[in-house]
Amino acid sequence: MKVLYIINNLSSGGAEKLIEQTLPIMNKKEIVEVELLLLTKENNVFEKKIKDAGIKINVIGTNNIYNPLNIISIRKFIKNNNFDIIHAPLFPVIYWTSLAVKSLFNKKLKLFFLSAN
């Protein structure tokens, strides 16, 4: 099973810390392959531990988490890879990811969103 996590960046926040702790555990499972997609490379304090765990980190490169062009970049990344599950935990990546996946009519992907409410 191929899982993609999409997040704004790896700054020192709660969701980012959870990704730093969870992804290496998931990646140790034989049936799970995890990748991470970032909207920006700004303040990536958790990057080293994630890379050391063998997890591939990809960066879109618009350098603005609020740029609507992120939809196109996310869509292209998903289309060029074969993911079974996509997890997007934060705003605005939740919106960009849902719009990107909705534009891929032939893909049946499972999307997961977390809410702190």
The two beta strands, 2-7 and 33-38, are parallel
Q: Which of 61, 46, 59 is nearest to 6 (CA)?
A: 59
What pLDDT sits at residue 110?
A: 67
What pLDDT sits at residue 58?
A: 95
Q: What is the pLDDT along the chain (117 residues), one digit of tens a residue?
A: 999 999 999 988 888 999 999 999 998 888 999 999 999 988 788 998 999 999 999 999 788 999 999 999 999 999 999 898 899 988 999 999 989 988 876 666 666 666 554
Helix or strand run (H / E) with residue 87: strand 85-88
Tally of domains in the chain: 1
Domain of 66, in residue numbers: 2-113
Q: What is the CATH number for 82?
A: 3.40.50.2000
Residues in the chain: 117
Give the global pTM: 0.87
